[in-house]
Amino acid sequence: MARPKEHHRAIEYLRELTQNTDYLKFDGALRMVVDVSRPQKERLLKTLEDLYHTGEIFYGHHADPCALLTCYIQGPHKHLHFVDAGGGGYTMTAKALKAQKRAC
């Protein structure tokens, strides 16, 4: 069983982990990794597809059973986490998005 001080450190690290995990929005595009159930994924993709067909958005997606977490550490409480899918995540998503834009 963890001692109280170790437990406090673990809780503090988890808080910092979530606060310091990246999401990017630039050029009017949101880029993120999400962990969802199969039904949630199907609903999300249906919504994105509907928005695409009405001409409101372009989108790309990639599904993978695992994720990678890279941590850039600048100090004891100053770090940033980069999250990507294990099988090429953002790269595969970008390819899908570019192909969708070319098709228009």
28 — alpha (psi -120 to 50), left (phi > 0) or beta?
A: left
- pLDDT band for 81, please (50, 70, 90 cuts): confident
- Structure tokens that stand for 37 in this block: 């159930």
pTM: 0.67
The residues facing 84 across adjacent strands are: 68
pLDDT in tens, 19-76: 766 655 567 777 888 889 999 999 999 999 999 999 999 999 999 999 888 888 887 7
Q: How far is it, in rounded angstroms, from Cα 1 to Cα 22?
A: 32
Q: Tokens 């673990």 — which residue?
A: 10
One-letter amino acid at 89 equals G
- pLDDT band for 11, please (50, 70, 90 cuts): confident
Whether the per-residue pLDDT at 98 is higher than 90: the answer is yes
Q: In the chain, where does DSSP find H-type helix? A: 4-19, 38-53, 89-103
pLDDT value at residue 79: 75
Q: How far is it, in rounded angstroms, from Cα 72 to Cα 81?
A: 6
pLDDT value at residue 99: 94
Q: How far is it, in rounded angstroms, from Cα 49 to Cα 38?
A: 16
Where along the chain do its domains lie? Answer: 4-103
